[in-house]
Structure 1
């Protein structure tokens, strides 16, 4: 048979149940707080993940834009290099041509005394005029003053054919006409 519990046992059982109920309520409260904390942490992680994804997307877009910009700049630089190399080749060709012309001018300048002499002799021949009589002796003062007509001092002192740096191409040669005489 079963005996009914004594009032002390019932009080103790009720106190134990109340303590158990408080403990369960306390654990449920802690569980709710823990769930709330876990939920807040999960939401925080989701927000941070979204922020990181957005930041990664922004960085990737900026990187792609920078790569595109640098690629365009590289293409422009390569095109400029190609144009400059072409210009250098043209300039090198021009330099070779000008060096050849410079060499020719140097050779002409070295031959200048000979050209001056030749021009003076041509002027002297023009001044003598045509031969009128083959039998008459020449009485030109140029041939009788003791110097030959091809003397270098005489040729260089001739005022009608001075070819110097001071003479310009546009200057007239004091009425001397070049031509051939028969």
Structure 2
């Protein structure tokens, strides 16, 4: 067998060196790509974990808000029932309030009437005398309470003003 010529060996060595460089370059690119893929996978895994945590947090918050909503709705129903009860009580008490308002409006005239009756009671009855002369120390016309209903009565008995308390 014969040895290949030196030129051919150099060309083969150059080709092998080029293939070796290309292989090293491709291996470096492959390593870089693998590192990139690993980094992306790690980021995706962290991102998935974060999404899972956010999903759980969202679910907890939704659960808490639903519970709060139920509590609020129960409170609303309770308050509405209380308002209805108070409205019913107001309806029941309104006639009494109207009566008290009327009594308060009537109080000053009633107080004046009671004061006048008390004064009349303090003065006492008239002294006994002739029914035709009711005033002491002198004659006077008989006191008669003439109204249309009582027009036929000729003479009324004198009345004594007084109160019974």
Shorter-normalised TM range: 0.5 to 0.7
TM-score by length of 1: 0.60
Distance 1:71 1:34 in 2: 53
Question: Whole-Å Cα distance in 2 between the matches of residues 22 and 114 of structure 1?
Answer: 130
**Structure 2 residues without counterparts, runs of 5 or longer:** 144-158
* Structure-1 separation of matches of 2:135 and 2:87: 58
Which fold has the larger relative contact order, with Cα–Cα distance below 8 Å and residues 6 or more apart in sequence?
Answer: 1
Alignment pair present for 1:22 and 2:11: no
Aligned twin of 2:128: 139
TM superposition outliers: structure 1 runs of 4+ over 6 Å? 145-148
Which residue number corresponds to residue 52 of structure 1? 47
Counting matched residue pairs gives: 135
Question: In structure 2, how many angstroms separate the alpha carbons of the residues matched to 1:95 and 1:20?
Answer: 107
User: Could you state the TM-score of these two structures normalised by the residue count of structure 2?
Assistant: 0.65
1:89: how far off? 1.0
Q: Structure 1 regions of 5+ residues with no counterpart? A: 129-136, 156-160, 162-176
1:164 is matched with which residue?
none
| CA distance in structure 2 between the aligned counterparts of 1:104 and 1:46, rounded to whole angstroms | 85
Residue 74 (structure 1) shift: 0.7
Partner of 2:153: none
What is the deviation of 1:98? 2.9
1:99 aligned residue: 94
The question of 1:36 aligning with 2:36 is answered: no
Say which of 57, 62, 73 aligns to 1:62.
57
1:89 aligns with 2:77: no
Cα distance, 1:83 vs. partner?
1.0
State the distance in 2 between where 1:32 and 1:38 align. 9
